[in-house]
Amino acid sequence: MASRYSQLAWQNSNKIGCGVYWCSTMTFAACEYNPAGNQVGSTVYEKGDPCTKDSDCHCDGCVCLVDEALCLKK
């Protein structure tokens, strides 16, 4: 299950597509992430200081959510 979480949290993945199929006895769900994450030897995200303003964010089109101290890609 950890690999599923780390893919969801992967810093560079910014697109997701999912599908669900319901059968009579079970449900199947699958998701694709782009760009793909879970790269061996890599970290989920780059560690850094919390943002306090938009210029603290180092990604194109990102804004700082000051209350959460996180950069969000718009």
Q: Give the number of domains in the chain.
A: 2
19-65 confidence digits (pLDDT tens):
999 999 999 999 999 988 888 888 887 788 899 999 999 888 899 99
- Across 2-24, average pLDDT: 85
pLDDT at 2 over 70: no
Segments forming the whole domain that contains residue 38: 1-43
pLDDT at 68 over 90: yes
pLDDT at 3 over 70: no
Whether residue 53 is found in the same domain as residue 26? no
Whether residue 55 is found in the same domain as residue 32? no
Instruction: Give the separation between CA 16 and CA 34, rounded to whole angstroms.
Output: 6
pLDDT-derived band at 73 (thresholds 50, 70, 90) equals confident
Q: In the structure encoding, which two tokens stand for residue 63, read together?
A: 């804004």
